[in-house]
Structure 1
Amino acid sequence: MSAADQDLTQLLDALDGALNGRSRGEVLDGMRARGDFVDWMGRLRGSMSEHRFVAGAERFDVAHLVRRLDVRTRKDGFRVLHSWNHRTHEFTEDMVPVLMVDFFLRAGPKDPDPAVVLSILLDYYFLHLLALCAMRAWDAGDPDLALARVQSLLEALQGEDGSGHQFVDDAETLLIYALSQFHPEEQAYDRIITRVAELGSTRRLAFARVSASVLSAHLRWGFWLMYGRDVVRMRADNVGDYPWLLDVVVTLLRGWVEAEEAGAPQEDRDHIAESLLQGLAADPWAFTGSRPPAFAAHSEACDEVSALLEAHAPSLLEAFERHKPTKTEYAPLAFHFNFPHNALVAVLTLALLEGRPQPLPLNVLFTREMEGLPEGETQEGLARTLMAFSKGRPDRLGNRGEVLVAYDPLSAMRSYSMTTKALRKRFAEG
């Protein structure tokens, strides 16, 4: 076992002990043993910063492991634990969960629920350690198994022993959350594409499905809200996203063809079609018209996309019809954001301010209207709440005054129309 693999295994082992059983409760009990709420938050902040916690007679000290894994991740071009400040153009000194503690103390809400606030923030800290582990999965001999273990720990994090706050559904989304912070080194994304290709087909498809939702929401946000529907500007400002988007569309098309040829259940094919529609809607003309400059080094993948769309356009368009947005039902094409962490942080902030863990994970916003959600919870309700929060104060807007999280059913219908029209014009007519 390599040193990198050993570090990852040890951190996963430590997280297993922290996330299963009473450990988190004992950590919080110790923090609340004396003083007031501000004192408790200060202790939580200090423990997060040092990566050291006390749970009864047990100690959770992973500072050396986190430091080594973080250094390796930085060498790969990514910063998982720290946020990029778009105003100062540098990474923050404190890690993201610590910044959230500071934010809450500055916000100073009246009568906060200490148990809820401390518990959610502690879970948010552990979420970032799991994100770091997901990024280091390729240090292991078998990255699929490493990600499976991250998945198991994510389920424990969001299970009955924690705050009850739901962040994301799976390890793939957690990995994308880690990736989708702004990173100045655009070539870093190419390394991730290469690494994802090493995963098994099931996990590659799962990663592609979530990636399609995230990239589509991100690029559509730019198209509608930032670039004035100028595709050339959008492509120039998001060069690093396009090879990733191309790889996602290739993977989903292959998955669609395999499912069709294998006679897979309609539900399975519909899931792939929904994701593929979102991926293509990110920039339909990139796959039906002149190729973006960012595709220049990927002609083989572009040719494969064109061939598969040519061969399967009629059946795909029929499948897409089942996901056509309407004014009356939730549609993922109506939901868009600058970056997924903007949405995740908005959900978290609302939960802290309201003293209520969010029962819906971010992933529910990536799929069409669902049944069986907790009573009183809807996807559209969550999306609109996030939009209202995002435009509630000037400091929550983008540098040009853009709403960073938006829900707009009309834009969904327009995106669908533009995407299917482009496909029909290129592949299904004549």
Structure 2
Amino acid sequence: MLRLDLLSKPAALTHLTDKQILLGVTGGIAAYKAAELTRLLRNAGASVRVAMTRAATAFVSPLTFQALSGNPVHTDLLDMEEESAMGHISLARWADLVLIAPATADFIAKLRIGLGDELLSTVCLATRAPIAVAPAMNQAMWDNPATQENVRCLSERGVRILGPTEGDQACGEVGPGRLLEPQQIVEELKSFFGGGILAGVSVLISAGPTREPIDPVRYISNRSSGKMGYAIAEAAARAGAKVSLVTGPTALKTPPVNEVTWVESSEEMYRCVMSKVPFADIYIGAAAVADYAPETIADRKIKKNQSEMVLRLRKTQDILSAVSASPKRPFTVGFAAETDNLEDYAREKLATKALDMVAANWVGRDKGGFENDDNALFVCWNGGDTYLPLASKKTIAEQLIRLIAERYHAQNSAKDSR
């Protein structure tokens, strides 16, 4: 008998070829996109099994996923057709990756507290495979402090958060909470298995504050914690990049990247960054480098024997401008921390320093930015801009790296076509 497979694996190998992905579908209107996601995963070479919550079956029939995945769909925790009714254990052991898409606010809360009240949540408790979660919900539910705390907790445990993005929602509202498009999710997953949107790309990142010494005891610095830069470094590594991090003094755990270099002053950071620029495809200047440093540094501690002290400051070297003007110029991304006129200053920085992209965030009292776990960015480039709404810095970093990768590849494609 002639057999026609409507879904066949591609001729070319991908980083998802022969990977075993358990797709968990929860009960939200975005469940219909999981059908397309299943198809794309199969086309990328993955073997897909689907587990659905009862609520999810009200949106999409299990038969749809069975046809698209080529495997039976799992919905019951105690399935008598499974050997010894231990289907959740066999699924947990089978998976190379557990992907929850869409993930509702309810399921995210279950995952955070370790509740195993149905098949999918129990599989997540039982698996040793990495877990990825693609949230999808109303923008008010996403912004709710409880949801944000749950997402932050899962992220800290190593659960990868994919999105959400911002846009029109089924309820008629517009805002963050929209499920990433299926193709974007597939691209994100490739980094789990050695691929990713920045596979083979060398990324140089500067992060943290600098300290400009006054004497052996005192220095001038700023409020930067380094959290945003470190999150970007991790996100770039997860996207498959070879990451070199140049960091000022922080109290953070060293991120899992290829190379970390510690510096203290703006001069040290300048020298270190410029020595690595010729080997970088992308430079992301997330460090809060001091604009001014003491003109002279005392050899001994300055004694408090006068009613006042005058410090003469000199302007420090502009690392971003130097990178942008270097002979072997990488794709250059600058950061701007502003207390007012955020968009205007970001666009001005983009033009005056001849950058490829600028990511700007508010700082100051009640405006977030420095020392906070959350952030929001206005991102602009020549011919476009977008907002990344308030979320954990890890989530913002993932979204920013995705934007940078898109612009970097688009720019390279344009050069190749000339």
> Comparing both structures, which one devotes a greater share of its residues to strand?
2
- Shared fold by TM > 0.5? no
| The structure with more radius of gyration | 2
Structure 2 length as normaliser, TM-score?
0.28
> Comparing both structures, which one devotes a greater share of its residues to helix?
1
Structure 1 length as normaliser, TM-score?
0.28
Q: Which has the higher contact order (CA 8 A, sep 6+)?
A: 1
